[in-house]
Chain A
Amino acid sequence: MTRGTIKAWYLVHKWSGLIPTVFLLMLCITGLPLIFHDEIDAAMEDGASSALAGMPSAEGGLPLDAMLATALAERPGEVPLFMAFSTDSPLLTVTTGPTPDAAGEDMSLLFLDRASGASLGPAPVNPVMDFLLQLHTDMFLGLPGMWVLGAMGLLFVVALVSGTVLYAPFMRRLAFGTVRADRSERVKRLDQHNLLGVVALAWMAVIGLTGAINAFADPLTDSWRDGEVAAMAAAYDGEAPLPPSRYGSLDVAMASAQAALPGRSPQFIGFPGGDWSSGHHYAIFFQGDRPLTQNLLTPALVDAETGELTDARTMPALNQALMMSKPLHFGDYGGLPLKIIWALLTCATIWVLWTGVMLWLRRRPGALERRIEEIASGGLRKARA
């Protein structure tokens, strides 16, 4: 690699790293407690929902129409937006709002027990975790905030690629894992930056990419609804949206959907007029029937008035990638040990970012040429500086 090539990659690495650093540090620090949100939530609510005994709500229990009636009795005047199922416990959640297309902040989430039929009241709120999640998702700036963070995630991936390219000439003469702690503070930082960066590389790339995909999730869902759902519901074109007073039986709708997709567990139902359905359908989302496909959802559109199946189609590849990228970003699919590993790797990422900033802050005049020389010579020359 010539010094000119190294210089180009060095500048790419420097700026693709420095620009998103403040955002990435914020994402790492807010992300650390979010990894453990299940545990924190469970501790705060005294295990009310985890103590439920009975058949998982995704497999069976009391009729869905009865559960929905119980939920709506608690929120008079509101309409149902979502009903979601658990594959572990009888917990069933119902989201309501003032109108079928209500915005997120106007929605209320209710917990119910599908085994006993009892309402467990509003979902417990945790202001601290909600604040952290909002900061982590869009910095309280809505869609533009999400896109800024998505772009920072993509810059992070550029920094990872360019850093890997520079790793090759730098490590020509250094053994893997070398940390020269007996030299200057700068050399120690540089070696730690390179070691932690290359070891956590694969995980950081996955987190950066899946985070960016999640940041562009809303437009992807909108395009699925406007394209695929609209095509599936083409026969309803020109009809006015179905008013909530004419919504038919959920149990009939669920039965027709399960006849079309046998052996699968429902994950949630999108009610008519919301982001996840057409104006006339219950969109019932089923999990895949094999371990490999359990995170991939297949929606069945069922006429919300008659309960007859309209169509069931797997989602487009891009939307499927979006579904896979959620668990991959959250790290919540492999129990507590995986979460601990997630937290350790987040700490490693924080250290890579921090040493990167410090290497830049503590630079001296003429630093650029020295750095290029240092990388080109295999990490040895000028290392004393």
Chain B
Amino acid sequence: MIHFGPLSPDQPATVRPGRRPTRRRSNAQVFALPLLIGLASLLGLVLGLTGDGLRDLACWVLLGLAPLVIMAALLRRRTQT
């Protein structure tokens, strides 16, 4: 079923202020940031498991990225509106 309305996937979406409804993004674009955060998490888990000291510090930073991103995204929308 193909729609030819104003929001058809083949046409640019209307831009709303304060948000960036982008043009159609490829899978690579959609997953770029999630993949980066996921790889950082996994690297952090392994580094923490394989040593102490500096490796633990790297583990906290890399794995801590995920909760930080979540908090930033949730807070951003609060200050926006």
Contact = CB atoms under 8 A, between A and B. Distances in A.
Contacts, number: 120
A206 B73 CA distance: 23
Interface string B24-44: 110100111110011101100
A203 interface: yes
A72 interface: no
Contacts of B20: 175
A55 interface: no
A231 interface: no
A264 B34 CA distance: 40
Contact of B30 (A171, A177, A196): A171
Contacts of B1: 3
Nearest to B14: A380
- Most chain A beta carbons < 10 A, residue from B51, B52, B63: B63
B74 to A, nearest CB: 7
B34 A201 contact: yes
A200 interface: yes
Chain B interface size, under 10 / 10 to 19 / 20 to 34 / 35 or more: 35 or more
Interface residues of A, number: 44
A202 interface: yes
A337 interface: yes
A328 interface: yes
A173 B13 contact: yes
B42 A333 contact: no
A174 to B, nearest CB: 7
Contacts of A247: none
Contact of B64 (A195, A206, A341): A341
Contacts of A337: 56, 60, 64
A178 B73 CA distance: 7
B22 A173 contact: yes
Contacts of B69: 177, 199
Contact of B78 (A181, A200, A381): A181
A175 B49 contact: no
A376 B52 CA distance: 46
Given A181-B78, A291-B50, A333-B49, 16 more contacts: A167-B31, A167-B34, A173-B24, A175-B20, A177-B73, A181-B77, A195-B70, A202-B38, A206-B45, A333-B48, A334-B59, A341-B60, A348-B67, A377-B9, A380-B21, A381-B7
13 contacts: A167-B31, A173-B13, A173-B22, A177-B69, A180-B19, A182-B81, A195-B70, A202-B38, A202-B39, A292-B50, A333-B48, A348-B70, A377-B3
